[in-house]
Amino acid sequence: GDSVTQTEGLVTVTEGLPVMLNCTYQTAYSDVAFFWYVQYLNEAPKLLLRSSTDNKRTEHQGFHATLHKSSSSFHLQKSSVQLSDSALYYCALSDLGGSAKLIFGEGTKLTVSS
C-alpha cells in the first residue's frame, strides 16, 4: 500500500542555519498530491504547502519543497530557520483520483535553538 517515510524523528538546528526535513514515499497511484503540515505546540496541524507537479518548487512562509518523482521524494527545506519554526512537521500524500484521505509520515520534530 501507499506509505510516507520521514526518517528523522527529531532535528535540532541553530537559529539562522539551513534545514532539510526528509520525506520519501511509495505509491501505486499516478495522480497524487503531496503535502507538508506543521503543528505548533498545543495547536491543530495546518497546511504548510502542497504540490502535485513533478520538479516544480513550491514555497510558503520561507519554506520550500520540490516533488521529485524520480526519487520519490518531497523534502522540506528552509535556508535560515527561526526560533518560531520549532514545531512538528508531517509529510503526507493523497490519491487525487480516488480516496480523499491523506496518508501521513511519522512526523519530524524540529527544534530551533538560539
Taking the CB of residue 108, how many other CB atoms lie within 10 A of it? 21
C-alpha cell at 5: 517515510
Distance CA 26, CA 59 (A): 23
C-alpha cell at 82: 527561526
Q: Does 104 bind another protein (CB under 8 A)?
A: yes
Segment interacting with another protein, rule: CB under 8 A, options 22-30, 45-53, 55-63, 78-86: 45-53
Return the number of the residue (82 or 99) whose C-beta is nearest another protein: 99
Among the listed residues 43, 54, 57, 59, the single contact to another protein using CB under 8 A: 43
Return the number of the residue (5 or 15) whose C-beta is nearest another protein: 5
Segment interacting with another protein, rule: CB under 8 A, options 15-23, 65-73, 75-83, 100-108: 100-108
Under the phi-then-psi rule, with left for phi > 0, alpha for psi from -120 to 50, and beta for the rest, what region is 61?
left
